[in-house]
Amino acid sequence: MDMNPADIPVVILCGGKGFRIREVSDLRPKPMLEIGGQPILWHIMMCYAHHGFRRFVLCLGYMGDVIRDYFLHLHSRHQDVTLEFNGHASPPLIHYHGDGGHEPGLDWSVTLAETGFETLTGGRVARVAPYLDQPIFMLTYGDGVSDVDIPDTLRCHQEWGSMVTVSGVRPQSRFGQLEFQGNRVTQFIEKPQVHGGFISGGFMVVDRAFIDRYLTTGADCVLERDGLVRAAGDNEMAVYQHDGFWMPMDNSLEYNALNALWDGGSPPWKTW
């Protein structure tokens, strides 16, 4: 089945509390922490948009109003606006002046879905099911970037016939690696890629039927425990092995590392 990426919804989990990165900011949810002046959520969406995906469904929760306000005011961030209030309860008329300044033109459809303050990942996905009108949807977390070949994950998912395909990644080590002979270091590698097993890095392709089979709208439904673990047990889960770049933003060290990569001029995930 050949599907147009523009028709396929991209679901992004944006509702978690992000306790481990509170030292960076407790005024914004983690998907809104910035890399190079733009939220990491924007970077993730740009990765998909580069490959023709344009329908985004954002699962809001903790501090969802910050994400909602960002998109509602995105068009007016870099240009003058005139608001005309009519004396009634209806919203004002908004007149935009200029061409948007530094904001790139975005051909996106963005659904801001309130999925609950305390809802866990599986419940959030199930609660946006009414917006998923295609047999397949893309799914990822709102706090990690990668140079994974997104179109190839879709192609492989359709070829392999599983209900869900996850991108398996090797995270970067938090520590420098020593190679030595006797007591003499022969090589020091600064934070190399882990050479052990793969972990799930998001950037998933999911059959719509996966939701009905494995998830519920309950606040305690966990995507990983109730969905992925059970799908693997039923032989309905595949892995797309990605040996390239992947990094989450789980703490201040990773936040600083991602910004350093961006400031260096060639961030690995910037495919657009």
Whole-number pLDDT of residue 134? 98
Euclidean distance between CA atoms 223 and 228, whole angstroms:
6
Residue 248 tokens, joined: 């989450």
Whole-number pLDDT of residue 48? 98
The rounded percent of the chain whose pLDDT value lies above 70 is 86
C-alpha distance from residue 81 to each of 68, 76, 246 (Å)? 19, 7, 39
Whole-number pLDDT of residue 96? 83
Top-confidence range, 8-12, 71-75, 223-227: 8-12
Task: Kindly tell me if the per-residue pLDDT of 176 is higher than 80.
Answer: no
Listed range (54-58, 91-95, 191-195, 210-214) with the worst mean pLDDT: 191-195
pLDDT tens digits for range 179-208: 556 644 455 455 555 555 788 999 999 999
Euclidean distance between CA atoms 48 and 40, whole angstroms:
13
Tell me which CATH code domain 5-263 carries. Answer: 3.90.550.10
Average pLDDT of the segment spanning 252-261: 94
pLDDT tens digits for range 205-253: 999 999 999 999 999 999 999 999 999 999 999 999 999 999 999 899 9
Average pLDDT of the segment spanning 45-60: 98
* Res. 177 pLDDT band, cuts 50 70 90: very low
Q: Which residues contact 158 (CB under 8 A, 6 or more apart)?
A: 1, 3, 136
Whole-number pLDDT of residue 178? 44
For residues 254, 255, 257, 261, the Cα torsion angle rounded to the nearest 10 degrees is 130
Listed range (27-41, 109-123, 174-188, 226-240) with the worst mean pLDDT: 174-188
Top-confidence range, 81-95, 100-114, 122-136, 193-207: 122-136
* Res. 173 pLDDT band, cuts 50 70 90: low
Contact 168, 239 (CB under 8 A): yes
Using a cut of 0.75, tell me whether the model's pTM lies above it. Answer: yes
Average pLDDT of the segment spanning 100-116: 82
* Res. 98 pLDDT band, cuts 50 70 90: confident
